[in-house]
Structure 1
Amino acid sequence: MELRQLEYFVTVAEEGNFTRAAERVHVAQPGVSAQIRRLERELGQELLDRSARTVRLTEVGAAVLPYARAALAAVAGARLAVDELTGLIRGHVAVGMVTSHDIDLPGLLADYHRDHPGVEITLTEGNSDDLADGLRQGTLDAAIIALGATPPPELELHVVTEDAIAAAVSPGDELAARETIPLTGLRGRPLISLPPGTGIRSRLDEACAAAGFTPHIAFEASAPGMLARLAARGLGVAILPAQFARSHADLRTLTIVRPALRGGLAFAWRREGPVSPAARALIDRARRHRR
């Protein structure tokens, strides 16, 4: 039994798909399949049910999975112990970020790379929900995510930015003369919002549900700039960070009240579990880094 066989088995179990698992471990799919078949022959039982479109664990596979994860964690822990004792910082750091933000992440990573050239850095984009899942599963070491109403208990957060969430309309909109709008004033109005899984959208959906209504989302876009342009054309009320909305001269910004909504961004990492010296060095630097 080899560690790579256990790694491939765990990865396929988590992805439910051989192709995605092969991409994640950077190995051709036939190689992943062959190694798992060898593991199954050694154990004398099939670990994966390949009969459906989605690969599923067999009963035996479900029983083996926690032991495979524990074995991989033990090896990772042994490597960490050696690296920490020798003061060695090397390896790989996987970082995630929300699609649109104003944090100087390139500057942070450039400074980190200058001091630790032996560490490979990878960067991926996604929405906050997907990034948080990546942190929990260990596929990401750290990520910039949007603040939600309830911070994920499994994650540590270092708040980087925080701002009110506002409504923005075109100068010709009937709301343009107002400075504030109660949350219930958005009921039934066409709203322009970031997609589900983003921090601002989660705050909006949660607040509207608590107020007893479902927001009418007329347009969705992943970039705040697109939301602003749609609102400026009179297509609805954009839900945006207040500071961002006020920076657009062709929009009128209304503060949402009763209740006031706030959003922001945070640098996040796992609260528990092994953290490599390379990842810990990046996290420590991020806590000291300014926007």
Structure 2
Amino acid sequence: MNLRQLEYFLAVAEEESFTRAADRVGISQSGVSAQIRQLERELGADLFERSARRVILSVAGRAAMGRARAVLAAAEGVGQAVDEVTGLIRGRLVVGMVVGCTVTPLFDALAAFHNEHPGVEISLLEDRSDRLFDAVRAGSVDLALAGTTGPAAQDLQTLTVVSERLIVAVPPGHPLAASPRPTMRDVVGYPVVCMPPGTGVRAAFDDACAAQGLTPTITLQASAANAVADLAVRGLAVAVLTESMAAPQHERLLSRTIDDATDPALLVLAWKDTGNPAVHALLRHAGPAVTGRAARPPGEAGGGGPARCAPW
């Protein structure tokens, strides 16, 4: 039995397919099958129940899963311990970013990190904010730039990049334009256009409505801030955004901070503190780059930085 066989075993178990497992580990399907067969012979039991359509774990396979993960984690830990002593960082780092969010300082940080640690393979993926947080919790994403509200990411380590109050944006002449401090009840008295579920701005709006027992009439949704604003400009609904999101449309819309929606929408860097030295090394670059300041202790809020993106 060797570590490579355990890696192949976990790949087949998680993918439920020898073909997908082979693609994941980068060898032929026949090579994966041969290694699994050898492992089964050594253990004296079938690890999988094989059919024409799928491959699932047997009773013996399910019993072996936890120990196999522990062995591979321990082996990785040995390598990390040595790397920390020698100053080397290797492995793979998966960075998540909310869809449509172009933060040039983050890209600069990734480039600086790559130059400093060329042994680390970097993968970048885009998704909705809520899915990114779930991926960080599951361990499939190491570090994510995503939108949230304060309570939504309390179980993760976070660094605040942007913190902004919700605003309602309306064209001149709309009744809300005459109110310098509209309330949530004022806003939900009109049809609303806003971001879709899964974004930080929508989470902040939904939380604010729930806190007051309000049920908004959300007639329109759009995944881009400029689309939300454009719909509001045409009088189809009032737009719920944040100040920076409405700013590009300021000549055609009037923005009013929603007086009693006090919990801000946040854009944060989020990670799970697993002791991965690559994550902490990247944070040393990414924290100051995206916030314009030195990294703060986990969970400490900060002011807005240079990053602006939507939807988050």
Report the TM-score, using the length of structure 2 for normalisation. 0.78
- Structure 1 counterpart of 2:247: 246
Distance in 2 (CA, whole Å) between partners of 1:174 and 1:55 is 62
1:62-141 superposed matches below 5 A: 62-101=62-101, 103=103, 104-141=105-142
* Residue identity opposite 2:169 in structure 1: A
1:259 CA displacement: 3.4
* Aligned-residue CA RMSD (Å): 3.1
Query: Would the alpha carbon gap of residues 283 and 177 (structure 1) be closer, same or farther in structure 2, given more than 3 Å must change?
Result: same
- Structure 1 counterpart of 2:197: 196
* Residue identity opposite 2:284 in structure 1: D
SS at match of 2:73: helix
The answer (yes or no) to whether the contact 1:200–1:240 under 8 Å persists in 2 is: yes
Distance in 2 (CA, whole Å) between partners of 1:183 and 1:29 is 58
- Structure 2 counterpart of 1:181: 182
- Structure 1 counterpart of 2:298: none
1:140-219 superposed matches below 5 A: 140-187=141-188, 189-219=190-220
* Residue identity opposite 2:7 in structure 1: E
Q: C-alpha deviations, 1:109-168, integer Å up to 9, x for none?
A: 222233333433221111122112222222222111213231534421111111111122
1:204 CA displacement: 1.6
Gaps of 5+ in 1: none
SS at match of 2:239: strand
Distance in 2 (CA, whole Å) between partners of 1:260 and 1:158 is 20
Distance in 1 (CA, whole Å) between partners of 2:210 and 2:163 is 23
1:234 CA displacement: 1.9
Distance in 2 (CA, whole Å) between partners of 1:206 and 1:4 is 47
Deviates more, 1:106-115 or 1:161-170: 106-115
SS at match of 1:268: strand
1:286 CA displacement: 2.0
The answer (yes or no) to whether the contact 1:76–1:274 under 8 Å persists in 2 is: no
The answer (yes or no) to whether the contact 1:160–1:267 under 8 Å persists in 2 is: yes
Query: Would the alpha carbon gap of residues 253 and 25 (structure 1) be closer, same or farther in structure 2, given more than 3 Å must change?
Result: farther
Q: C-alpha deviations, 1:90-116, integer Å up to 9, x for none?
A: 333221111244642122222223333
Query: Would the alpha carbon gap of residues 139 and 178 (structure 1) be closer, same or farther in structure 2, given more than 3 Å must change?
Result: same
Query: Would the alpha carbon gap of residues 19 and 95 (structure 1) be closer, same or farther in structure 2, given more than 3 Å must change?
Result: farther
1:222 CA displacement: 2.3
- Structure 2 counterpart of 1:282: 282
The answer (yes or no) to whether the contact 1:99–1:223 under 8 Å persists in 2 is: no
Gaps of 5+ in 2: 293-305, 307-312
1:56 CA displacement: 5.8
SS at match of 2:279: helix
Report the TM-score, using the length of structure 1 for normalisation. 0.83
Distance in 2 (CA, whole Å) between partners of 1:17 and 1:181 is 56
* Residue identity opposite 2:192 in structure 1: L
SS at match of 2:215: coil
SS at match of 2:177: coil
The answer (yes or no) to whether the contact 2:3–2:72 under 8 Å persists in 1 is: yes
Query: Would the alpha carbon gap of residues 90 and 231 (structure 1) be closer, same or farther in structure 2, given more than 3 Å must change?
Result: same
Distance in 1 (CA, whole Å) between partners of 2:183 and 2:106 is 35
The answer (yes or no) to whether the contact 1:172–1:234 under 8 Å persists in 2 is: no
Aligned positions, number:
289
Larger radius of gyration between Structure 1 and Structure 2: 2
SS at match of 2:69: helix
Distance in 2 (CA, whole Å) between partners of 1:51 and 1:82 is 43
Distance in 2 (CA, whole Å) between partners of 1:268 and 1:216 is 32
Report the identity percentage: 46
Distance in 1 (CA, whole Å) between partners of 2:122 and 2:205 is 34
Distance in 2 (CA, whole Å) between partners of 1:80 and 1:255 is 48
Query: Would the alpha carbon gap of residues 109 and 173 (structure 1) be closer, same or farther in structure 2, given more than 3 Å must change?
Result: same
